[in-house]
A and B are shown apart, each in its own frame.
Chain A
Amino acid sequence: MDILSLFVIIPVLTVLAIIISRNAKNTRVISAIGMGIQLLMAAYLIFAYFAQRNAGNNAEMLFQVDYVWFASLNIHYAVGVDGISVAMIALTSVVVFAGIFASWQVEFLPKEFFISLILLSSGVFGFFISLDLFTMFLFYEVAVLPMYLLIGIWGSGPREYAAMKLTLMLMGGSALLLVGLLGIYTNSAPNGGVLTFNILEISKVSIPIAAQRMFFPMTFIGFGILGALFPFHTWSPDGHASAPTAVSMLHAGVLMKLGGYGAFRVAMFLLPQAAHELSWIFIILTSISVVYGAFGAIVQKDLKYINAYSSVSHCGLVLFAVLMMNKTAMDGAILQMISHGLMTALFFALIGMIYGRTHTRMINEMGGLMKVMPFLGVCYVIAGLASLGLPGLSGFVAEMTIFVGAFQHVDIFHRVVTITAVSSIVITAVYILRVVGALLFGPITNDHFLHLDEAKWFEKLSTVTLILAIAGIGLAPLWLSNMIGDSLAPIISRLTLFIP
């Protein structure tokens, strides 16, 4: 068995084990063990990756495995990873691991809950290791669909509406994406020969420009919808607000990254010429996302809405950086995905924990929580500081890499959008400090809050895992940045080939 397929198989085995488990406690323990193994494997994968690279293995994708699956259409089960996928896999395993502990207390149908959650994660892992567009799409759907059940059944508030809206909008994206992927497939052999879904093979040819112009917007928007691209982001606030804690964590932390990753791996990499031609439209949209999301977050009153708008802003920065099409900015884009994934997961975990105690998410109904739950309070402050880009935490590294990268463009257009994006650091500070002030500081406004209890062990484990990852990247970013940067070389060289 190859190491990469294990990332899909372990969640599936975990799900099977959960099905035969007898009670809620066993279910939780099994999930934790399964995802713990997954986390260790991700750590091992990082070391294995570096071992291969140090041994001089310069292949574009490592640990490749290829099985023919459907010969007549040339569909393969082809997997392989580069530094970027490894980083995304590591992110996913950390968030899923923390998510399991954050949902330790799910009481309603725990078995089914964990099954859906872990099934979803297997889809995400599968997506990140796929080299074949078809299997990639398949895993994408596996990751997106359980969301409907998770929100619809375990959600809160107007959950049916939110679940329906989220699923339909993402399905709309999928439809565009499917057309786009098939379009790439049918044009994958412009010089004659066998059509292919394999990303590496397609990246060797140049798809006719007319086809690129048609399918680039489709794939970019298709993935962009999941990556909260303005104006297709509105599933996000409602969806996140209604989703249960672990689902918000996974969705904002990992699933939205599928959008950024796909936009970059498929749309930009395979359709570079159209990317150059059409990037300006999307640069405008993403820079709107960045500022608009941040301004939107300032006036929200619901913690989850604040975080959802903040995600629009931060994920906008991911796509923004991807569109800058140079090594530094793209490096920053991947770092930002990881950083945003970790810190937004932390935010949602904490919001869930606070909500579980106060039974409200409205900031104007809260206040002075620092005094009653210092541990959660401190964690919230750390998450906030990470979000506003404090050095020493991951957000800073990502944002600065993006800004420096984007600033390498000399023309007025790029300068203006870059400075617009940079100005978001101030707006972010405004809404983060507003929330932190209203939520944690000040006098305690509600006597009921005086009797709230502090975080339990599993909650601490969940948040500490995420904080360690955030601080680890923030303090020593060089290895990660280099790991990503090295893997960007083929993408950058393909993109520079087509500079108009």
Chain B
Amino acid sequence: MTNFSYTVLIPLIPIFVFLFIGLTGHKMKPLVSGIIGTTGLAISFILSYFTAYQYFFNTEKINGAYQKILAVNITWLQFTDKLHVDMGVLLDPISVMMLVVVTTVSFMVHIYSIGYMKGERGYHRFFAFLSLFSFSMLGLVLATNIFQMYIFWELVGVSSFLLIGFYYEKPSAVAASKKAFIVTRFADLGFLIGILILSFNTGTFDFINLTTVGGPAMATGAGASFLGLSVMTWSLIFVFMGGAGKSAMFPLHIWLPDAMEGPTPVSALIHAATMVVAGVYLVARLFPVYALSAPDGLTVVAYVGSFSSLFAAVIACTQMDIKRVLAYSTMSQIGYMMVGVGVSRYGGEAGLGFMASMFHLFTHAMFKALLFLGAGSIIHAVHSNVMNEMGGLRKYLPITHITFLIACLTIAGIPFLSAFFSKDEILSAAFEHNRLIFFVQLFVAGLTAFYMFRLYFRVFWNKEPHYHHTPHEAPLTMTIPLIFLAIASIFAGYIPFGQFVSSDSIPFHSEIDWLHVAIPSIIVGLLGITLAFVMYKKESNLPDKMANSLKLLYVGAFNKFYFDELYLFVTKKIIFNYISRPVAWFDRHIVDGSMNGIAWITNAASIKIKGFQSGQLQQYAFVFVLGSLLLGILFSYFFIYLF
């Protein structure tokens, strides 16, 4: 058995880097902090690849299945006799795969940021936060138990909050960071309740115990039911709520587009490649529990994913801010991944969806990071996010152009690029298990090709606006990550993913279903591209005509179907004005008022009776005589009455 205890260094190095830069960063030159941060991540990156190699090729399989290995595990907090929170490192195919994804993208983003953030105030703060995020994300993927995952889940949330609000002097960035945190926090409430129910019924937080097929944990929760679903199903639906919040699934998606207020490398790392897929990872982590004891929970996952992917793709077709288009595209692609796990079954060929979902997570991380970094390069060149202020950039940004084109072709599902394989496997799984979802996803594939090429043509072709400065290609630190990720986007599809990741950890071989899946998907993809070509290659009035003919849909989508307004209404109007204000008023006037009232009564009463103590002897004598007389009468009355 290989000793994996060194893997604990993979998350620990970034946290030390965070502390180091955070405490001493203001004293060093900005570039130095960037280099320290990048070096730290480079070490984690190398260790992760080494771990992956060791795990997949040098570790014995038992019964043909990859083993779950607890590399490190120490008790962190003891709740009850059974329930304890551990901190440790769990290695299994999906966590090792995530290690590779997270460190690769994070490393690339670090290199890119050295150039991109040049001259920014708070350069060292940026790198410190990037390291904090990397630590949290790595801790999340390596979690040995659901509570450890929740802990790091919150930590990635706060890193995301800090990075979205990086430009803290900009009110829109502050608002976006608050929104992201509060919406995901609301989702995490569901996650926490889910954990509470799940752990109460199964008596464990531990992933290995929870997911052992036929183990005691899985059997216990299936019993009692509430509203027709078992307790296990309810708890997993609650857990999924957390995942949906982090992964920006409908209707908890509203924070993601606003999160684009953060610096672009952050969007690439957190809001495209790693943190937002944590929800998919969460479902994948608990997949045996979902698939075997709560299949209804999986159905929820599939439908939420499918609807989100359609919803986001429609909105993406209308947005003008390139980062927002990419944000909705991310939401849409995560929807695909959710569909993948959602339609999957446990074990062997039936587990194709699970594998495809993880595969798509992997390829998406590469090409979406590429798209965002490319967008960063564009923004760097033209100092704007809005498409109207771009056009004809292919001449000025050759490397960005080529790499961006590769990414667009990949996401559109053009054959033999990476997403072609991963997306088509999701479609195959959907075709197998749920035809409705299959057709929705097929349609979304077309939309995806359309909106991505709309973006591509508008930015790199179309009419050239008047630029104040001639746009120029980004420096090498920025283009090298682009080239690396472009290569990854092209070739990642050739990884025989089923050999490494599968629902039951037993390698299997998958084939693409050309007739039912691949050919239709290629056709809709090409249709989408052609449509975008016709409409946006040159400046024309076609887009306006199109928008007018579908006016209602267009206006709705352009305004994101008014979800921001709905949320504002709920938070500002209902919670702030109709709950909090009355509570505060009640507290000041009723609760406190009654306390003051008691004081006032005491005061008033004492004023009324204080006249008795006047100090005048005549008055006292008068009262005394009067009292004696009264008593005398009373006594004589009783005396007569009684005898």
Which A residues are closer than 8 A to B by beta carbons?
165, 168-169, 230-231, 233-235, 238, 292, 295-296, 298-300, 327-328, 368, 370-371, 385, 388-392, 396-397, 400-401, 403-405, 407-408, 418-419, 422-423, 425-426, 429-430, 433-434, 437, 440-443, 477-478, 481-482, 485
Q: Is the CB of B80 within 8 A of A327?
A: yes
CB-contact partner of B151 in A391, A419, A426, under 8 A: A391
Q: How far is the CA of A478 from the CA of B75 in the complex (A)?
A: 8
Q: Is the CB of B78 within 8 A of A485?
A: yes
Q: How far is the CA of A429 from the CA of B255 in the complex (A)?
A: 15
CB-contact partner of B169 in A388, A423, A442, under 8 A: A442
Q: Is the CB of A328 within 8 A of B80?
A: yes
Q: A231-B591, A296-B580 are in contact. Are A396 and B154 (CB under 8 A)?
A: yes
Say if the beta carbon of B219 comes within 8 Å of chain A. no
Say if the beta carbon of B196 comes within 8 Å of chain A. yes
| Contact indicator per residue, chain B 577-603, by CB within 8 Å of chain A (1) or not (0) | 001110110010001100110010000
The 8 closest A-B pairs by CB, nearest first: A391-B151, A234-B592, A298-B580, A441-B168, A441-B174, A295-B583, A299-B580, A429-B185
Query: Which of B186-194, B546-554, B562-570 makes up part of the contact surface?
Result: B186-194
Secondary structure of the A side of the interface? Answer: helix
Secondary structure of the B side of the interface? Answer: helix
Q: Interface residues of B, CB < 8 Å — how many?
A: 47
What are 9 A-B contacts with C-beta separation under 8 Å? A231-B591, A296-B587, A391-B154, A403-B192, A404-B79, A407-B196, A425-B189, A433-B181, A481-B78
CB-contact partner of B581 in A299, A389, A429, A440, under 8 A: A299
Q: Is the CB of A433 within 8 A of B78?
A: no
Q: How far is the CA of A426 from the CA of B185 in the complex (A)?
A: 6
| Contact indicator per residue, chain B 171-197, by CB within 8 Å of chain A (1) or not (0) | 100110010011001101100110011
Q: Is the CB of B168 within 8 A of A440?
A: yes
Say if the beta carbon of B199 comes within 8 Å of chain A. yes
Give the tally of cross-chain contacts (CB within 8 A): 124
Q: How far is the CA of A71 from the CA of B165 in the complex (A)?
A: 66
Q: Which of B79, B151, B170, B575 has the most CB of A within 10 A?
A: B79
Q: How far is the CA of A279 from the CA of B223 in the complex (A)?
A: 30
Question: Which residue of chain A has its CB nearest to the CB of B175?
Answer: A437
Q: A403-B192, A423-B189 are in contact. Are A368 and B584 (CB under 8 A)?
A: no
Q: Is the CB of B189 within 8 A of A478?
A: no
Q: Is the CB of B155 within 8 A of A404?
A: no
CB-contact partner of B80 in A390, A408, A437, A478, under 8 A: A408
Q: Is the CB of A169 within 8 A of B595?
A: yes
Q: Is the CB of B155 within 8 A of A299?
A: no
Q: Is the CB of A478 within 8 A of B580?
A: no
Q: Is the CB of B77 within 8 A of A478?
A: yes
Contacts of B168 in A (CB 8 A): 370, 440-442
Given pairs A234-B592, A299-B584, 17 additional interface contacts (CB within 8 A): A233-B591, A234-B591, A234-B595, A296-B584, A299-B583, A390-B155, A397-B77, A404-B196, A405-B79, A408-B80, A408-B200, A419-B193, A429-B182, A433-B182, A437-B174, A477-B77, A478-B75
Q: A390-B155, A429-B182 are in contact. Are A296 and B80 (CB under 8 A)?
A: no
Q: Is the CB of B169 within 8 A of A443?
A: yes
Q: Is the CB of A426 within 8 A of B154?
A: no
Q: Is the CB of A168 within 8 A of B192?
A: no
Question: Which residue of chain B has its CB nearest to the CB of A234?
Answer: B592
Contacts of B175 in A (CB 8 A): 437
Q: Is the CB of A368 within 8 A of B169?
A: yes
Question: Which residue of chain B has its CB nearest to the CB of A168?
Answer: B599
Say if the beta carbon of B20 comes within 8 Å of chain A. no
Contacts of A168 in B (CB 8 A): 599
What's the minimum C-beta distance from A229 to chain B, rounded to whole angstroms?
A: 12
Contacts of B186 in A (CB 8 A): 426
What's the minimum C-beta distance from A444 to chain B, rounded to whole angstroms?
A: 8
Q: How far is the CA of A474 from the CA of B171 in the complex (A)?
A: 31
Q: Is the CB of B196 within 8 A of A437?
A: no
Q: A433-B178, A433-B181 are in contact. Are A407 and B576 (CB under 8 A)?
A: no
Q: How far is the CA of A370 from the CA of B151 in the complex (A)?
A: 27
Q: Is the CB of B79 within 8 A of A401?
A: yes
What's the minimum C-beta distance from B177 to chain A, rounded to whole angstroms?
A: 8
Question: Which residue of chain B has its CB nearest to the CB of A480?
Answer: B77
What's the minimum C-beta distance from B28 to chain A, rounded to whole angstroms?
A: 16
What's the minimum C-beta distance from A343 to chain B, rounded to whole angstroms?
A: 16
Say if the beta carbon of B158 comes within 8 Å of chain A. yes
Q: How far is the CA of A29 from the CA of B599 in the complex (A)?
A: 41
Q: Is the CB of B80 within 8 A of A404?
A: yes
Contacts of B591 in A (CB 8 A): 230-231, 233-234
Contacts of A408 in B (CB 8 A): 80, 200
